[in-house]
Structure 1
Amino acid sequence: MTTMRLGWQRTRYEVRSFFRERDAVIFIFAYPVIMLAIFATVFGQGGATVGDDIPFAQYFLPGMIATGILLSSFQSMALDIAAERDRGGLKRLRGTPLPPASYFLGKVGQVLVTSLVQLALLLAVAALLFDVSLPDSPERWFTLAWVFLLGTATGTICGVGFSSLPRSAKSASAVVTPVVLVLQFISGVFFSFFQLPSWMQEVSSIFPLKWMAQGMRSVFLPDGAAALEPAGSWELGLVALVLVVWLVIGLVIGVRTFRWQRRGDS
């Protein structure tokens, strides 16, 4: 069997395994939806809006899509691979004929499937419950597609690279979760990005979540909302560049640091 076909078989296995983990499924799928509902309800009371009459649900949806991608890709990969390594699953897998490339293709495929399901769920909830307007032009749908795909790929590769940092499955959550939470708070997910302190905006601009959220805002917000961004525009070219740079960084780190067995194992 070819590497690609084995990767497809591995994807099917990874997807089935993911949906058997009910706690993880509920958290990854429900968290962005619940947060969107909370922020849209609390901050949108009395018809309050953001900036130029943008409903709060409309403004926060892009950030929730971005953070959903981060959870499904970066956090999921970093935790799952660390757990598989700690249980000895990666060591046993390394002794099988399965090519390493097929294993990683399976991980990428699983993330794409779960991220697509999560995106569809978020869009449905936003449109049906909060009357959020969906993209109204092919150009906006195209931007949604490439930001989603590039953000998912970047998050997945960075998650694979980051998975070598925790020393065990028990410590993985303590290492990964704070990173995800901090990025959410400084990247305009829970707050209007233009209202954050300038130093926080500058720090967040180093990391991909800020750019994923900004790219998604260009899809769901009116063109005039670009004036609320620090640069006064959506900077989609820079969005793509930063995500590609992090994709390359994650790939280099992953190649250099990925381990099939626990530290100390021979």
Structure 2
Amino acid sequence: MIVVTGATGTVGRHVARGLHERGHDVVAVSRDPDRAASLLPSGVRCATVDDVDWSAAGGLFVNQAAFPDGVGDLLDAAVARGHVERVVALSTYTVLDDDPRNAIATRHRAMESCVRAAGVDWVLPRPAGGFASTALEWSKEIRETRTVQAPYGDAEGAPIHEQDIADVCVAGFEDDTLVGTAPMFSGPASLSYRERARTIGEVLGEPVEFIELDDAAARERMTAVGVPPHAVEARLRMFAALVGVQHEVHDSAPFTGHAPRTFRDWVEDHRDAFA
């Protein structure tokens, strides 16, 4: 049995579905099991973390976003008091940034340390280049005004389709050669935020204008939609550093066995969010 945490999240739902489709017995963990059940195949069992029978679990997918206070208690229940033998924990390439102001990197380094210290097989997928799904933050604005207001339009990344992230995580449970590694992968091409807005417009068949904001205006907008202050500052520093810099591309195909999905693929898969 594999326990998937954060099972209603952007990546977690695809991990749960992917494992189920490959024949694994999956328990999806969510604060709202009824909602999880509505999003996942009928063969996936849904539970709160307190209701999991860890004695029956052999694998655990960790999404730190579901555990703001850290994953120590989760790993204690799953490993020290349970029978989990492999942990696949979604991390980020920003762990390589040792700037103490980078709270995202600091939290994920702490998570990685906990996983390595748990004494079981581990895989730490490190997406690089950003999630394509962050463009959903623009969805309401694009629907209503066909514009995007955001900072640093010429900052570049290599946006990754969440399905590709999930596919790497699923491989972490099935490919023994990945044990003890932190596979880094990105989307297939470096794109600026301005180019992403243009791509959305092309898929919609209507132009989407990118309107660049200064830091103060961007900070206000991100805070208003619930982005935590530490994440706001980390994003702004990251965006500023990436202006005009082509993002290095790391192929996910060696881990997934298929070509990575493009940002245009992602937009076409989520077209209804912007139409």
Would the TM-score normalized by the shorter structure come out above 0.5? Answer: no
Flag the structure with higher strand content. Answer: 2
**Higher-RCO chain (CA-CA 8 Å, sequence separation at least 6):** 1
Flag the structure with higher helix content. Answer: 1
TM-score normalized by the length of structure 2: 0.23
